[in-house]
Amino acid sequence: MSATTRRTFLTLAGSSAVAFSTRTEFAGGDQLPGQSTSGISASPDREFLNVMAVAAHPGDVFFAMGAPVAVATHFGGQGAFLSLSLGERGSPSIPAEQYGLSQREAAAKAAAMIGGKALFLQYPDGEIPVNDQIKLAVCDLIRQYRPSTIVTHWKGSWHKDHRACHDIVEDAIFYAGLPSFVRKERAHAVTNLVFADNWEDATGFVPDTYLDITPAFDLWLNACSAFPMWRGETGFRYNDYYSSLAVARGCLGNFHRAVALMSPQEQRVRRIRTS
Ligand SMILES: [Zn+2]
């Protein structure tokens, strides 16, 4: 993304906050030792009322990125879950075509429970390309659904599809925001890009934002349970990991339940007015 366009987005985004609460702070949580709570926004933040999650695979988009979308829909906002593939090669025992269908069905069911839209591009799992075709496909969906916040993969991942998705989304946001870039839908500037706390994308992941997900926690967990893999059937205990992570991140963010998010470096720039 060019510096000029990025600055335009940042002007719209305003200053970076430390923590976002969708209600009051966790009632039982005292201030953390030595930590100010002055950075906590105590009312619904508009940036988190229209959220699009974009991931390489359906599991990622719901397990690692779904809670912020559930927060948006819980408060009457809008949410969308975009998977670039069906994750059809993710089962050690079920044939890819059959598993892809079950992943699609689970994603549709989970999205309906949350009140969001399930979207798919159906590139081959493990072979998600990084090219203008897929970037423009994501650009068009951004322009169509017009999210304020996009949650996607952090680039520090061992998984090639996750790294590809990160790059695709950054360029898709660039394309979506350029009015002179004529597509079917008019331009849309995404004001807030954040990266998700994903067990597979942990290299260099340093969160700078804690989002209170307490009101939507049960809704999000129930939706994730639409996926058989949530219960550990593909070898990783997603349920235990992500439900526990919400507790741990809640402790650090001073909320009952929270997700930790990471902002692009340029989005963390603070602008302090003195006159
Ligand atoms: Zn994945």
pLDDT digits (tens, 9 = 90+) for 213-262: 999 999 999 999 999 999 988 889 999 999 999 999 999 999 999 999 99
CA of 35 to the centre of ligand 1 (A): 34
Residues 155-208 have pLDDT tens digits of 999 999 999 999 999 999 999 999 999 999 999 999 999 999 999 999 999 999
Rounded to the nearest angstrom, the distance between the alpha carbon of 161 and the centre of ligand 1 is 7
Contact 23, 212 (CB under 8 A): yes
Cα of 197 to ligand 1 centre, how many Å? 12
Q: How far is the CA of 24 from the centre of ligand 1 (A)?
A: 33
Whole-number Å distance, alpha carbon 275 to ligand 1 midpoint, is 47
Q: How much distance in Å is there from the Cα of 189 to the middle of ligand 1?
A: 26
* Domains annotated on the chain, with CATH: 3-27+40-263 (3.40.50.10320)
End-to-end CA distance of the chain: 31
Report the predicted TM-score, pTM, of the whole model to 2 decimal places. 0.86
SS3 label, residue 185 = coil
Ramachandran angles phi, psi of 121, nearest 5°: -110, -20
Which tens digit of pLDDT belongs to each residue from 48-69? 999 999 999 999 999 999 999 9
Strands of the chain, DSSP E: 19-20, 40-41, 50-55, 78-83, 117-120, 149-152, 192-195, 209-212, 258-261
Residue 46 pLDDT level (bands cut at 50, 70, 90) = confident
The answer to whether 152 touches 54, Cβ cutoff 8 Å, is yes
Q: What CA–CA distances, in Å, run from 33 to 29, 36, 254?
A: 11, 9, 11
- What is the 266 CA–ligand 1 centroid distance (Å)? 26
**Measured CA distances, 88 to 65, 223, 225, 234 (Å):** 19, 19, 18, 12
